[in-house]
């Protein structure tokens, strides 16, 4: 066999091997009609039994019935939910590790220094199911009936308004919203940090602080319904049922707290996985048991599919990031 023929045969062999490897890889990545074939791990970055945990599990439970596999919660708490979210980013993109998100892990942690990640490129948005209600509340015997009246008093009494928030002002979304109000209204608040919402509630009822700034839940809304607390405004567009006539900050100022509550996965999830999950979650959002759980926690159903959630998160990530940078720059200048 002459050298020319050997070269031709060698090229044919290499080409054949290339085709084989390509087909093998293609088969490995081919659509799996049986997905999922085992339980899906759901990483949760907040305490077990809390509103975020319970509403998320209420959402995935009916979805599990459509998928034919259960969701197994795994708790990785701390750092505003960013520890769990980092684990999602590092997970294998096979559809068997997903995570839940709240605004703190998406919009605040990357800019506050709590998170290892500085952007969200390692995530795939899958479905949003809810949105928090964020009222600013005072005791019912307070002299202000509206937010406008409260602001007029606060302008005349700098720093007298003690605003209870769940954390340091520059690292929680409620504090960052209040900073924007200070800039717009040329007013000064005193933000008082607490560890949890229930502590803020106790402090405002006891007269130790002026305003409750946080999320609505069954406990604090009971006080509103009983006439012991009064809602002055909301940080976002979503309002508590029965109190929709109260003006919100988006209506008053044109800005609002970023608001998501949903499911995400790692970057690179195959289309067949996303299609299966999208179908299951689109059905789960209509489940009456899920809807009743959200009502119990004063969490309205706000559904966004993958495209809608991705657009919302991208837009608000950039916007809120710029606000946090400006706020930090001001803090540094004052030192």
What are residue 231's phi and psi, to 5 degrees?
-85, 125
Q: Going from the N-terminus, what domains does the chain have, and what CATH number goes with each?
A: 40-131+259-329 (3.40.190.150), 135-257 (3.40.190.10)
Handedness of CA 302, 173, 168, 240 (dihedral sign): negative
DSSP state of 29: T
Residues for the chain: how many in total?
335
Q: Is the pLDDT of residue 243 over 80?
A: yes
What the block records as the tokens of 206 is 């006891």
Q: Give the model's confidence band at 13: pLDDT under 50 very low, under 70 low, under 90 confident, else very high.
A: low
What the block records as the tokens of 96 is 């068997």
d(CA 267, CA 90): 9
pLDDT average, residue stretch 186-214: 96
Q: Is the pLDDT of residue 133 over 80?
A: yes
pTM, whole model, 2 decimals? Answer: 0.86
d(CA 137, CA 233): 8
Q: Give the model's confidence band at 165: pLDDT under 50 very low, under 70 low, under 90 confident, else very high.
A: very high
Q: Is the pLDDT of residue 275 over 70?
A: yes
């Amino acid at each position: 066999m002459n050298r020319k023929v050997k070269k031709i045969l060698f090229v044919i062999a290499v080409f054949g091997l290339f085709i084989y490897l390509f087909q093998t890889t293609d088969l490995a990545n081919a659509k799996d009609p049986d997905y999922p074939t085992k339980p899906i791990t759901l990483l949760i970055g907040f305490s077990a039994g809390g509103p975020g945990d319970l509403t998320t599990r209420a959402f995935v439970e009916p979805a599990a019935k459509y998928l034919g596999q259960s969701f197994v919660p795994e708790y990785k708490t701390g750092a505003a939910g960013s520890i769990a979210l980092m684990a999602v980013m590092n997970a294998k993109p096979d559809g068997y590790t997903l995570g839940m998100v709240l605004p703190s892990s998406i919009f605040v942690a990357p800019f506050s220094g709590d998170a290892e990640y500085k952007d969200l490129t390692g995530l795939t948005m899958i479905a949003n199911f809810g949105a928090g209600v964020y009222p600013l509340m005072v005791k019912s015997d307070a002299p202000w009936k509206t937010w406008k009246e409260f602001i007029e008093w606060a302008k005349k009494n700098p720093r007298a308004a003690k605003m209870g928030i769940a954390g340091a002002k520059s690292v929680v979304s409620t504090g960052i919203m209040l900073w924007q109000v200070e800039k717009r209204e040329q007013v000064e608040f005193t933000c008082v940090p607490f560890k949890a919402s229930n502590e803020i509630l106790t402090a405002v009822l006891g007269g130790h602080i002026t305003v409750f700034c946080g999320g609505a839940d069954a406990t604090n809304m009971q006080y509103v319904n009983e006439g012991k607390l009064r809602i002055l405004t909301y940080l976002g567009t979503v309002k508590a049922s029965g109190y929709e006539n109260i003006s919100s900050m988006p209506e008053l100022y044109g800005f609002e707290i970023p608001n998501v509550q949903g499911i995400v996965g790692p970057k690179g999830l195959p289309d067949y996985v996303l299609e299966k999950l999208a179908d299951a979650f689109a059905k789960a959002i209509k489940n009456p048991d899920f809807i009743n759980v959200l009502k119990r926690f004063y969490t309205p159903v706000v559904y966004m599919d993958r495209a809608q959630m991705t657009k919302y998160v991208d837009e608000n990530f950039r916007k809120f990031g710029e606000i946090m940078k400006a706020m930090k720059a001001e803090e540094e200048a004052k030192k």
